[in-house]
Structure 1
C-alpha cells in the first residue's frame, strides 16, 4: 500500500466553503476516488492550513486516472477558487513528503 500526504492553504474567507464542499462531496467525485484506488482519505485543518492523507495500491495509477478524469478536472477547478496546494515551484507538482516514522 502506498501513501500520500499533501498540504495546502485555504484562501482568505474560504474555510467555511471548503468544509461545506467536502461535507457535500459530489457522488461522482467519490466514485472517481474509488476508481483511482484511493482509500482511507482524510483531510485536517488548522486555521488556513489543510493536510490530506490517503492510501492506494499505486500512486502512479491513481495519478494517471486523476489526470484523465473530467470530474477530477472539474473538482480541481472549483477547489482552485477555495485553496492553493503546496506545489514544487519548478514543476507545479504536489510536494512529496517522505515518511520517517510509523506506528501500527
Structure 2
C-alpha cells in the first residue's frame, strides 16, 4: 500500500460548497476509486490560504489512468468552477514529498 499526498487550491468563498459536493460524492465515482485501489482518502482545508491538502492510500501500481474515464472527467467539470483547474478541468494538483511518517 502506497500513500500519496497532494495539494490543490479552492477559490475564495467556496469552502461550504466544496464540502457539500464531496459529502454527496457520486456513488459511481466512489466505486471507481475503490476499484482502482484508492482507500483511506481524506481532504483537509487550510481556511487561511484556501489550500486543500489530500492524502490517500493506493494498493499496488495501478496503471489505470482515472483521469481518462468519463466519470472522472464529469466530476472535474463539476468542480472546476470552485477550484483552480487546468484547461482540461482537472484540478491543479501539486504532489507533496513525504518527510516524516509514524506508523
TM-score (norm. length: structure 2) = 0.81
* Cα displacement (A) at 1:26: 0.7
Note the residue ranges of structure 1 that are not aligned, 5 or more in a row.
Answer: none
Say if 2:43 and 2:52, in contact at 8 Å, map to a contact too: yes
Return the offset for 1:58: 3.5
The equivalent of 1:45 in structure 2 is: 45
In the alignment, the residues of structure 2 paired with residue 80 and residue 93 of structure 1 have an alpha-carbon distance, to the nearest angstrom, of: 10
Q: Over the residues paired in the alignment, what is the CA RMSD in angstroms?
A: 2.2
| 1:97 corresponds to 2:88 | no
How many residues align structurally?
97
Residues 58 and 77 from structure 1, CA distance in 2 versus in 1: closer, same or farther, beyond 3 angstroms? farther
**Unpaired runs of at least 5, structure 2:** none
> Which structure dedicates a bigger proportion of its chain to helix?
1
1:22 alignment partner, SS class? helix
For normalisation by structure 1, the TM-score amounts to: 0.80
Q: CA deviation at 1:72?
A: 0.6
Are the equivalent residues in 2 in contact too, given 1:39–1:54 (CA < 8 A)? yes
Deviation of 1:67 after TM superposition, in Å, equals 2.5
